[in-house]
Amino acid sequence: GAGVSQSPSNKVTEKGKDVELRCDPISGHTALYWYRQRLGQGLEFLIYFQGNSAPDKSGLPSDRFSAERTGESVSTLTIQRTQQEDSAVYLCASSQQPGLEQFFGPGTRLTVL
């Protein structure tokens, strides 16, 4: 595709519900990253996928957060039992190789009421 796409663009949910966020990276990009950005804050790294290697989950803030990636295509980020502090924009990025320039999607704005 032309760029990284994410869905939904906005998600409003109630505290305690589970949410699933989707990312479609640029075709051919082997590396995929998830970040979180709270209002007025910088990027917070969550998780990184590279090919068939084990993902780097070191940025996931709790065990309520998980992510999957099928091969070198779509990825889903799942947040279970959402809390109000999970409210943020969740950004996905991909790069042709690890460490090269990352191309970001438009993000999913998650609001937990």
Partner 1 sequence: DAKTTQPPSMDCAEGRAANLPCNHSTISGNEYVYWYRQIHSQGPQYIIHGLKNNETNEMASLIITEDRKSSTLILPHATLRDTAVYYCIVRVGSGGSNYKLTFGKGTLLTVNP
Can you give the C-alpha Rg of the chain in angstroms?
Answer: 13
C-alpha span between 113 and 110 (Å, rounded): 10
Tell me the residue type at 28: G
Residue 14 or 99: the one with the smaller Cβ distance to partner 1 is 99
Residue 80 or 109: the one with the smaller Cβ distance to partner 1 is 109
Q: Out of 22, 59, 64, 80, point to the residue binding partner 1 (CB under 8 A).
A: 59
CB of 31 to partner 1, least distance (A): 7
Q: Out of 2, 52, 63, 101, point to the residue binding partner 1 (CB under 8 A).
A: 101
Instruction: Say how many residues make up the chain.
Output: 113
Residue 14 or 101: the one with the smaller Cβ distance to partner 1 is 101
By DSSP bridging, strand 88-95 and strand 31-37 are antiparallel
